[in-house]
Amino acid sequence: MSKVILSAKSRENKGSGEARRIRKAGRIPGVLYGRKGVAISLDLDATDFAHQVKTISESTIVKVEIDGKSYDAFVKDTQRNILDGNILHVDFYEVESGVLLKARVSLQLRGNPIGVRQGGVLENPLHDIEVECMPADLPERIIVDVSELAVNQALFVRDLPIAKSIRIISNVDQMVAQIKLAREEAPAPTAAAEGEEQAAEGETEAKD
């Protein structure tokens, strides 16, 4: 489980005016949605969160400390200002310890494939999969070693190195990566060929 810890303060006041006040103070308004339907309005330090979010993936479980109480949660959504990229609002979703959860885990390719060194092209059509497991067993990402892939070979979801404690929900027959031969570009027409083509077009026009 992730060691990312975010300190936050609960807040009672809501609305756009309160949100502007919080942002002006160098903080970010947010909401923690509990698994039992209870939502906690909060605010976080903007600088700290902007730094921490760089290490957070969709399947990273962070620890949110609110007024001395700790919650394990996903960062479900971050709203940003389209002009400057600053974070405007954060939504968290609480993870309950000891209860199975479903999440999407990113796939990260690693290695220099044999097939690429032979002139092939690496294709990566699938970037994440859905799994079910206990919170403590959820990986932040799955490393896929493609170094042994040769031309015309492929890896599928069923080939991924998944722990027995994790159940794959995605279709196991989906392709994760493959090596294809690079397409050869058609040679550029020579001047003589272009002249013959133009002459043929002229004859056609004369017949019309």
What is the pLDDT at residue 56? Answer: 86
Pairwise pLDDT comparison (47 vs 189), residue with the higher score? 47
What is the pLDDT at residue 201? Answer: 54
pLDDT at 163 over 70: yes
pLDDT at 172 over 90: yes
CB count in 10 Å sphere of residue 99: 9
pTM beyond 0.85: the answer is no
pLDDT at 177 over 90: yes
What is the pLDDT at residue 196? Answer: 58
What is the pLDDT at residue 181? Answer: 86
pLDDT at 121 over 70: yes
| Share of residues in the chain with pLDDT > 90 (%) | 63
